[in-house]
Chains A and B, each alone.
Chain A
Amino acid sequence: MADITADGYSPARDEEDEAQDKALTTADGTPLKISLRRSQARQRRRAFYLVAPLLAFLVVTFGWPIAQMTFRSIHNPEVANYLPETSAAIADWSGDDVPDEEVFAAMARDMKTGVEDRTIGRAAARINREIPGARSLVMSTARDVEEMSPPYRDAFLAEDEDWADLEFWRLIKRETRILTPAYYLLALDFEYNTRGEIVERPEVYQVYRLLFWRTAWMSMAITGLCILLGYPIAHLLATLPLRKSNLLMILVLLPFWTSLLVRTSAWIVLLQQQGVINDLLVWANIVGDDGRVRMIYNQIGTIIAMTHILLPFMILPLYSVMKTIPPSYMRAARSLGATQFTAFTKIYMPLTIPGLAAGVLLVFILAIGYYITPALVGGESGIFISNLIAQNMQGSSAQLKLASALATILLVAVLVFYWLFNKLIGVDRLKFG
C-alpha cells in the first residue's frame, strides 16, 4: 500500500512519459508523431471516402441553400445592374436638389438599353416596392424615351413632374449599393426614412420583433413544460422492470408513428369551443354553455399541442441517461445518511444533467423553428416567426429577401443559443439517445 504505483497509476510517471514523447523518433529518425500520422493516413482516407457521399449531399442540399439564403438576404443587385449608367452618374449627387443633366442623360441611356433588353420592368418593380407609384413613372417615361432629345432633364420633367421628386432620386442612390442591410432592418421593424436614416417603423407595421420575442418565450415555456412532464416519465421508464417499461416506451413513441398533421388535428377536435373538452366541462357544469373556454387558435393551443408533440424529444435523452445511472448511487447516498430528497437532488439530479441538457437543446431548437402546429392551432396570437417567414415566401406579395433575412436571424439565434449552451454545459457531455 505504500507504493501507489502498484495500482498502475502514478501522476509523476505520466509526466515523465509526456516529456519523453516529445523527443521520441522511430528507428530511421523521423519524429514518432509524423510517422504515426503517415501510418494512419490510409485509414483516414478510407473513413473520408465512406462519408464523402453524405458530405456531398449535405453540401448540396444544406450548406449551399443556407449560403444562398444568407447571401440573398443582403444582395440588392437590381438598380445597380439594370440602371448601370445612372448608378455611376448619381454617385456624386449631393441629394439636396434635383439632379443635373448628367444624371438624367444616364437615366435615358439606361432606359433605352432597358427597353431593348426588357429589363427596365424589373428595375421599376424594385423601386416601386419602396415608393408605390414609381413603376408607372418609370415605365411610362421609358416608353417615350426613344422620341426624347437632350437636354433630358427638361424632357423628363416635361413628361412627368414627379421626376423632380428628391425622394425618388435619393432612393435610387441608396439602392445602387449591391449589398444592403435593408431587409434585416425590416426584419427587426426598422426602415430607412426619406433622408436615408434608420428609424423604427410606424407602430402599426411592427410585427417581427414581437414575433421573435413570442417565439422565444413560447419555446421556453414549451421546453419547461416538457421538462416538468417528461422528467418523471423518463425516471419511471428507467426504473420499471423491462416488460412494463417496454410497454410505456411504446406509449411514449406512439406519437412518432402518427402523422404530425393527424395529431395536430386531433388537438383541434379536443380543444375547440365545440370540442370534447369543452363539452365535458359544460356537461360537468364546470362552465356554462355560453362560457366555453377558448383553448385553441391562441397561445394556449400552440403550447398544449407543441408540448405534446415535442415531449418524446425530452423523454428519450433523459431516459437514455437515467438508464445508465446505477441504483447503487441512490442506495449509497441513503446509506451515507441522506434522506430520499437529498439523495435525489444532490446525487440523481446532477447525474441526469447531460440528458436534461440534450433534451432542452432538442426541444427548444425544434420549437423555435416550428411551423405546422402554430399554423394550424395558433390562430392570430399563437403563431411563430416561422409562420411569417412562410407568409413572406408565398403568394403575390412574396418578399423572398425579407423571408431570407428573417430566416437568417432565426438561424443565428439558434447558433447563439447553442454556443451559450455549449459554454454552460459542454456539448461533448450531452447524450441524445
Chain B
Amino acid sequence: MQHDSGTGNGAEDSAYVRFEDVQKSYDGETLVIKNLNLAIKRGEFLTMLGPSGSGKTTCLMMLAGFESTTHGAIWLHEQRIDNVPPHKRGIGMVFQNYALFPHMTVAENLAFPLKVRGMGKSETEERVNRVLSMVELPQMGDRRPAQLSGGQQQRVAVARALVFEPDLVLMDEPLGALDKQLREQMQFEIKHIHESLGVTVVYVTHDQSEALTMSDRVAVFNDGIIQQLSTPEVLYEAPDNAFVAQFIGENNRLLGEVVERTSDTEIRVKLETGETIRALPVNIDASTERTTLSLRPERVQINPPEGSMPNVLTGKVAEVIYLGDHIRTRLAVAGHDDFIVKIPNASGHPSLSEGEAASLGWTIEDCRALDA
C-alpha cells in the first residue's frame, strides 16, 4: 500500500487534520467539548487519552462524521470536512467491538469498502489477499467473523479499515475486548502497521499504558479540554497539572502550602503535618498558595545515605505487596497512609516488613509542585 506523500508541502504536513475552535453540546446546556484546537501531523500516531466522559470519543466521532460539531471547523488535508457525510470522508475506522459484518465472510467484509467504490472483481480480490497477508491471516478469507478468535477479529477489523488505502485511520478503543497478553501483542502489531504504511492514526483509549506504548503524541482529555498534548516521555516525566500526573502512571500526592519561592526551579512547600519539602514549581504562579506535590513511586529512595537527598521524610510501612519484579510498599507518611514506593526486587535494595519505620528521600526535580 503506497501512500502518496509527494503532493504535501510543509504547511499541509504540519496540520494534516485540524480541529479549529470546535465545541460540542448534546443537550444545549453543557459543553462536552470546550473549544478544542488540535493539529495532527501527516503520518503521526496521535492518541486521545482520558477517562470515560472526557470527550475523547466524541472528538473521534466528529472527525469520522457520526457526530456533528456544534461550533467550529474540522479540516482534513486543507479541506473542511465537518459538513461532509461520513462515507465521503474516506477515513478508515476500527470500532470498539470490531463491527465486522456477521453475515459476511472475512473476505466479503474486506471487499465491502472496495465494492461500494465500484472496484473490479480481480483487483478487489488481489487487494483483499494482500491485506489478509499483511495481517497474517492469509487462509481465513472464507471464515465468518464468529469463527475467529478475538485477536483474529481484531486483525480483520484493522485490515478492513486499511484495505481501501485511506490516509487517515481512526481507532476507537480497538483493543478493549482483548486479554492483557493479546492486547500487548496487538499494540506492537498496530504500531508496526502504522510505521510501515505511513498512515496517520488517531487512536482513542482510556488505557494510559497503551497510549504511552504506541503513540507519537498523546492528548490527555478531561472535562472536554485537552489537559496536555505531548510526547509520552514528557507526559510522564513532566506533567503539566495534577490531573495529568494522576492519570498517567502512578503518583504520590502531598498537599501543602507554598511558603517560599526560592528560585525559578525551587520552592519550599509546608505540608499539613508541618514538614517542609523542596520542590520544582511547574504551574505555580506568584499568587498560588496551595499546591499538590506529585512524586513518582519509583523515584523514592528508601533509607538514603545521610545528606544525599534534599527531601527526607520518615514513614511507617503499612503494607507490603510482592509483585515479582518489584515490591510495592505502602507507607504512612505525613498524615497520608497511601504513600506508595516501588522497591525493585534486586540486590542492593532494602526489603521492608510491615510495621517497620523507614526514611524516604527524593530529589527536588522529581517532586513537582502542581495546581492544588
Q: Are A332 and B149 neighbours in the complex by a CB distance under 8 Å?
A: no
- A326 interface residue per 8 A CB criterion: yes
* Contact of A331 with B by CB under 8 A: yes
Inter-subunit contact B87/A329 (CB<8 Å): no
Question: Which of B69-77, B95-103, B206-214, B249-257 makes up part of the contact surface?
Answer: B95-103
Q: Which residues of A contact B89 (CB under 8 A)?
A: 335
Contact check, B112 vs A333: say whether CB atoms are below 8 A apart.
yes
Q: Is B99's CB under 8 angstroms from A332's CB?
A: yes
Listed stretches A133-141, A249-257, A337-345; interface member = A337-345
Among B86, B149, B189, the residue within 8 A (CB) of A8 is: B149
Q: How many residues of B contact A (CB 8 A)?
A: 37
Interface size class of A (residues with CB under 8 A): 20 to 34
Which residues on the B side are within 8 Å of A351 (C-beta)? 101-103
- Contact check, B148 vs A335: say whether CB atoms are below 8 A apart: no
**Cross-interface CB contact of B149 among A7, A333, A350, cutoff 8 Å:** A7
Taking CB atoms, residues of chain B closer than 8 Å to A326 are 97, 99
B64 A335 Cβ-Cβ under 8 A: yes
* Chain A residues closer than 8 Å to B189, beta-carbon distance: 1
A6 within 8 A of B: yes
A430 CA to B148 CA, complexed, in Å: 23
Which residues of B lie under 8 Å from residue A336 when comparing CB positions? 87, 92, 112-113, 116, 160-161, 164
Residues 309-353 (chain A) with a chain B CB within 8 angstroms = 326, 328-329, 331-340, 342-343, 346-347, 350-351
Of chain A, the residue at the smallest CB distance from B143 is A11
A158 at the B interface (CB under 8 A): no
- The B interface, classified by DSSP as helix, strand, loop or mixed, is loop
A337 touches B151 (CB 8 A): no
Q: Give the Cβ gap from B23 to chain A, nearest Cβ, in Å.
A: 22
A-side contacts of B150, CB under 8 Å? 7
Contact B152 A335 (CB under 8 A): no
Distance in angstroms from B178 CB to nearest chain A CB is: 10
In the complex, whether B93 has a CB less than 8 A from a CB of chain A is yes
Distance from B105 Cβ to chain A, minimum over Cβ atoms (Å): 13
In the complex, chain B residues whose CB is within 8 Å of the CB of A328: 95-97, 99
Closest Cβ–Cβ distance, residue B104 to chain A (whole Å): 8
B132 to chain A, nearest CB (A): 12
* In-complex Cβ contact of A337 among B90, B100, B101 (8 A): B90
Contacts of A343 in B (CB 8 A): 87
CB pair B148 A9 closer than 8 Å: yes
CB neighbours (8 Å) of B151 from chain A are: 6-7
Q: Is B322 an interface residue (CB 8 A)?
A: no
User: Inside 8 A of A338's CB, which chain B residues have their CB?
Assistant: 87, 112-113, 116
Closest 7 CB pairs of A and B: A336-B113, A332-B99, A7-B149, A328-B99, A7-B151, A335-B93, A9-B149
Contacts A7-B151, A334-B87 known; 9 new A-B pairs at CB < 8 A = A1-B189, A7-B152, A8-B149, A335-B93, A336-B112, A336-B116, A336-B160, A336-B164, A351-B102
Q: Which chain A residues have a beta carbon within 8 Å of chain B's beta carbons?
A: 1-2, 4, 6-9, 326, 328-329, 331-340, 342-343, 346-347, 350-351
